[in-house]
Structures are given as structure tokens and as C-alpha cells.
Amino acid sequence: MYKIEKSSELSMISREIRNVQKRTIGFVPTMGALHEGHLSLIRFSKEKSDFTIASIFVNPTQFNNPEDYTHYPRQLEMDIQLLEEAGCDLVFLPTYDEIYPEGTSRLPHYELGYLETIMEGKHRPEHFQGVCQVVHRLLSIVEPDYLFLGEKDLQQCKVIEHLIKLTGLEDKMRLIICPTLREQDGLAMSSRNLRLTPEQRKSAPLLFKALSELKAGFGAADYPKLKANLLNHLQQHSFEVHYLELANSDTLEILNGWNLQVSNTACIAATIGKVRLIDNIRLFSKGE
Ligand code: PAF
């Protein structure tokens, strides 16, 4: 596996692969602290493309909470080993200056509209601007044919889908959204799970359980009542719930109740102690 730190070097390699060798490139951007979910993205990329590139960069501009940035898990050596074992062809390990050569004070602002006003956008001001800044920069360096993202961050996937259209990249590359991987007890795999204390780790699957109860009640239960009961239950187990929403799976428009005219996804974000977790599950797929 190649390890590249310079953007200019990676751009050259990527052009050689695409234009000279006529091979397709799959790209998996990450912030490290890799788990099976990330490795499954590498496997999807290897199936779909000829050459797989991963990046590891803990992007400061997307952390609205400085403490979250400081404590974000970092385990570079182990990550490199995991990528190597998964058969990744190249890992990009840029420094801050490689990503932001002119600093971060005059970065572009992206018009994200409604997507930035709900759920993660509402609760983490500027978060999606930071995501777009880094992903736009990474895409311009790597110029992949395929971009692989995990569905656990559904709203991020929608934002990046929007970014691809906004920046005119949709003819050049395809976004592939891959399923969320879960621990045996249902907890969605996430780098932040590493920060949970053993006691918090025991409670963490309650988020998935709440989403599963919404799925079980879909169309039949009284939605506002079920939602209120679930919020109450989570609070009793030391969660501070930032939101629990029912959304149109395609547009993420918030729904006030079960809606059989569109696909429905339930989304949740909550902190337990100092760790913020998010998750979502599809409750109903229109046309199935
Ligand atoms: O999902 C993540 O790990 C990050 O938001 C991403 C897409 C790598 C951008 O920093």
C-alpha cells in the first residue's frame, strides 16, 4: 500500500491511474480510528473500482465543538495496518497545510439550503460547511470515479450528494452510499464508540432500540405518543437527546407523522456523558 502525504504527488498518481492506465479509482475519505464499517467501504470500493484510495485526516473545520476535536480518537499506526490488511491500494495522510494551504479563514461557503437547517445542521452550526470544505478539497485532489460513504451519516451523504451537484462533479463521479454496520447488540459502528465508558457502552444500543421500536410501530402506533415515550425512556438512561425525527428518506424533509406517500427514515442524535452518537434506520420504503 502506498502512503502519500503530499497533495501534488497524489494528484499525479491519480491522473496516471485514470488517464494513462485507464483504471477506475474508488475513494473512501475517513477521519481515522477505523472500524469494520470503514473497512466494509474499502471492500465495496475494491469490488467496484480498479484502484482504492483511502484518506485519513481529522478535519478541524467540521468540529463545532473544540473538545470533540481534541478527544476524537487517533490511532494512525493501527489504521494503516487495517487498511493494508483490507487491501487498500493507497492511503493519503495529509497534514493540515496540504488540505488548507491558504489557511481556513477564507474558505468558500456552500449553499446547502434546507439540509443545513435540520437535525445535524441545526445542532452543529458550521459542521456541514466544514465537511464540504474538506470533501471538496479531497475530491479535487483524488478525482475519483466512485466515492464511498456510510449510511450511518445519512445527512452527511445527502449534503455531499448536493455538494457534488453544486460543484459540477456529477458527470465525473458517482456517490455510493453503503449500509451501516452494527455491533451484535445493534449499536451502529462509529469511531466515537471508542470514547464510551463500559457503562455508557452498555446503554448505547438503546438508540438503535428506540429506532427499532419506531420501525415496529410504523403505520400503526400513535407516532407522537410513541416518540414521547421513547424520548422519556432515553432520558431516564442518561441520554440527552438532541433530536429524534421522522424524515423523508430521499429529501430528509421532516415528517410530522407516518407518511405512506414517501419512504420514511427515523434519525436520532444523543449524547451520553460527553460522547455524541447518531444513528438512523429506514422504517418504510415506498414501492416495496
Ligand atoms: O464521515 C467522516 O469521517 C468525515 O465527515 C469525512 C467525510 C471523512 C470528512 O472529513
| 82: in domain | yes
Q: Which atom of ligand 1 is nearest to the CA of 58?
A: 10
- Ligand 1 neighbour 30 (Cβ under 6 A): yes
Number of compact structural domains in the chain: 2
What is the rounded CA–CA span in Å between residue 17 and residue 27?
A: 13
Q: Summarize the confidence of residues 259-266 as an average pLDDT.
A: 98
> For strand 25-30 and strand 51-56, is the pairing parallel, antiparallel, or unpaired?
parallel
Q: Are residues 139 and 213 in the same domain?
A: no
- pLDDT tens-digit readout, 165-218: 999 999 999 999 999 999 999 999 999 999 999 999 999 999 999 999 999 999
Q: Which atom of ligand 1 is nearest to the CA of 29?
A: 8
Q: Are residues 243 and 158 in the same domain?
A: no
Q: Summarize the confidence of residues 30-54 as an average pLDDT.
A: 98
Q: Are residues 27 and 155 in the same domain?
A: yes
Nearest by Cα to 120 from 268, 248, 251, 238: 268
- Ligand 1 neighbour 132 (Cβ under 6 A): no
**Whose Cα sits closest to atom 1 in ligand 1?**
30
Active site residue 127: no
| Cell triple for 251 | 429529501
| 211: in domain | yes
| 68: in domain | yes
- pLDDT tens-digit readout, 111-168: 999 999 999 999 999 999 999 999 999 999 999 999 999 999 999 999 999 999 999 9
**Whose Cα sits closest to atom 9 in ligand 1?**
131
Q: How far is Cα of residue 89 from the mean position of the Cα atoms in its chain?
A: 22
The pTM of the whole model exceeds 0.75: yes
CATH number at residue 197: 3.30.1300.10
- Ligand 1 neighbour 135 (Cβ under 6 A): yes
Structural domain of 49: 2-178
| 286: in domain | no
Cα 61 to ligand 1 centroid, rounded to whole Å? 11
Q: Where do the H-state alpha helices sit in the chain?
A: 7-15, 36-48, 66-71, 76-86, 96-99, 119-123, 127-142, 154-166, 198-203, 206-217, 223-236
Q: Are residues 30 and 139 in the same domain?
A: yes
Which of 152, 153, 155, when mutated, tests ligand 1's pocket best, judged by the most ligand atoms within 8 Å of its CB?
A: 153
CATH number at residue 59: 3.40.50.620
| 288: in domain | no
Q: Are residues 15 and 142 in the same domain?
A: yes
Cα 157 to ligand 1 centroid, rounded to whole Å? 10
Chosen domain end from 130, 150, 178: 178
What is the amino acid identity at position 92? F
Q: Are residues 137 and 263 in the same domain?
A: no
Cα 163 to ligand 1 centroid, rounded to whole Å? 14
| 184: in domain | no
Tell me what pLDDT residue 288 has. Answer: 78
Nearest-5° Cα angle at 273, 245 to 178: 50
